[in-house]
């Protein structure tokens, strides 16, 4: 079921086939190239009932959240950071910085309070990004079409060459790197062994991926008709089912990011509607206002780390059409990464 989802008049996706091109039309921007910067504070949670929960985020602070009282519709609050940078994704390091690409291909580190510095020059066209437990950052390089590992001191290693046009990258509870390129693949960062989990299928168009809270399912955002799919996983995180349909009408069909909160809700950034969607566990689709319109379009989804004042109850979205700035969207719940289990045991956040 879809709730209150307006479509843009320029919806380009065909009704029965995925797009044949990988280049997007560029949205119109205003004279500033992006939205005005403004400051917001998380709303006061007030009194709560038994659904109110607290997550200890292991030295990243505490966040009270109520899964039955998350911001909805036009209630989401936004802040745009002029000094932080992000292209098609961002990631947080272990020192309280947000890391993303500027408009010339450099990786920039930025703090919440306004400092920024060059970290890795000429990193290239960065797609999906995530962090390994040792503090290394992994990302998909659109330039070399490979999966790259960056050590904290900026050293580079290729984990998977000839990976193709990868978009989504996530580190699994087994500390292996999972990535999507029409199909879904896994690479062991220690042995460099690559496994195909879901064959490349244009009809599916796997684009971004995220594990559910108990690591029994891998959700797949797509480049197709706005559908989200999933595969069931066994105890070794291998596929235990066929690819199965989960939710439809999650925007017009070009998914640019997927994440999951500690309540089990999915968040999907979608290009053709230029919107951010929440997909509940019962597959109900909700439009979270219009925080993604025009130059403010958010490509990629990353939950705040809680380090250095980055809010655990907010999503951080890079703005590739807004001078590669970064936007904070308050959603009221932390990342599912903080409460994830695997085979019944807690997965320690990293």
pLDDT tens profile 246-289: 999 999 889 999 999 999 999 999 999 899 999 999 999 999 97
Residue 254 in domain: yes
Sole residue written with tokens 């042995």: 191
Q: Is the pLDDT of residue 1 over 60?
A: no
Pairing of β 2-3 and β 285-287: parallel
Q: Is the pLDDT of residue 325 over 70?
A: yes
Q: Is the pLDDT of residue 2 over 50?
A: no
Residue 6 in domain: no
pLDDT in tens, 116-154: 999 999 998 899 999 999 999 999 999 899 999 999 888
Q: Is the pLDDT of residue 221 over 50?
A: yes
Q: How far apart are CA 136 and CA 12, in angstroms?
A: 38
Confidence of residue 24 (pLDDT cuts 50, 70, 90): low
Own/partner pairs, 21-28, CB within 8 angstroms, 24+ separation: 22/165, 24/254, 24/271, 26/321, 27/274, 27/294, 27/295, 27/297, 27/321, 28/294, 28/295
Q: Check: CB of residue 312 under 8 Å from CB of residue 60.
A: yes
Residue 175 in domain: yes
pLDDT of 202: 83
Give 335's strand partners. 261
Ranking 25-29, 37-41, 242-246 by mean pLDDT, the lowest is 37-41
pLDDT of 10: 30
CA distances from 201 to 19, 178, 204, 223 (A): 13, 17, 5, 11
Q: How far apart are CA 88 and CA 328, in angstroms?
A: 15
Residue 12 in domain: no
Ranking 90-94, 151-155, 187-191, 308-312 by mean pLDDT, the lowest is 151-155
Question: In the predicted model, what is the mean pLDDT of residues 71-96?
Answer: 92
Confidence of residue 86 (pLDDT cuts 50, 70, 90): very high
Residue 273 in domain: yes
Tell me the percentage of the chain whose pLDDT exceeds 90: 73
Residue 131 in domain: yes
Residue 178 in domain: yes
Domain that holds residue 69: 53-346
Q: Is the pLDDT of residue 60 over 60?
A: no
Number of domains in the chain: 1
Residue 132 in domain: yes
Question: In the predicted model, what is the mean pLDDT of residues 224-246?
Answer: 96
Mean residue pLDDT across the chain: 85
pLDDT of 25: 56
pLDDT of 244: 97
pLDDT of 59: 45
Pairing of β 302-303 and β 345-346: unpaired
Tell me the percentage of the chain whose pLDDT exceeds 70: 81
Q: How far apart are CA 211 and CA 36, in angstroms?
A: 34
The domain that contains 163 carries what CATH number? 2.120.10.30
pLDDT in tens, 69-81: 999 886 788 899 9
Q: Is the pLDDT of residue 23 over 60?
A: no
């Amino acid at each position: 079921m879809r709730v209150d989802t307006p479509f843009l008049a320029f919806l380009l996706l065909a009704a029965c086939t995925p797009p044949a091109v990988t280049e997007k039309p560029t949205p119109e921007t205003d004279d500033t190239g992006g939205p005005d910067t403004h400051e917001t504070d998380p709303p006061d949670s007030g009194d709560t009932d038994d659904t109110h929960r607290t997550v200890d985020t292991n030295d990243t602070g505490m966040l009270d959240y109520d899964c039955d009282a998350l911001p909805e519709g036009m209630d989401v609050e936004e802040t745009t950071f002029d000094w932080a940078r992000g292209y098609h994704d961002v990631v947080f390091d272990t020192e309280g910085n947000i890391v993303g690409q500027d408009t010339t291909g450099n990786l920039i580190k930025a703090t919440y309070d306004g400092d920024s510095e060059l970290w890795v020059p000429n990193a290239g066209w960065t797609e999906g990004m995530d962090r390994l437990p040792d503090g290394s950052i992994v990302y998909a390089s659109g330039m070399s079409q490979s999966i790259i590992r960056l050590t904290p001191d900026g050293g580079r290693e290729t984990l998977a060459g000839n990976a193709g046009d990868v978009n989504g990258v996530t580190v699994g509870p087994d500390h292996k790197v999972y990535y999507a390129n029409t199909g879904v693949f896994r690479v062991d960062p220690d042995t460099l062994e690559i496994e195909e989990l879901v064959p490349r299928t244009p009809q599916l168009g796997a684009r971004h991926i995220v594990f559910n809270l108990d690591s029994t399912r891998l959700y797949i955002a797509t480049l197709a008709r706005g559908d989200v799919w999933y595969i069931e996983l066994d105890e070794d995180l291998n596929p235990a089912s066929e690819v199965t349909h989960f939710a439809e009408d999650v925007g017009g069909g070009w998914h640019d990011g997927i994440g999951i909160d500690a309540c089990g809700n999915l968040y999907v950034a979608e290009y053709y509607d230029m919107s951010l969607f929440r997909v509940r566990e019962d597959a109900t689709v909700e439009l979270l206002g219009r925080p993604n319109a025009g130059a403010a379009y958010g490509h990629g989804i990353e939950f705040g780390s809680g380090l250095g004042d980055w809010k655990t109850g907010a999503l951080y979205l890079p703005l590739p059409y807004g001078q590669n700035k970064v936007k904070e969207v308050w959603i009221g719940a932390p990342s599912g990464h903080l409460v994830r289990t695997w085979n019944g045991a807690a997965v320690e956040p990293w």
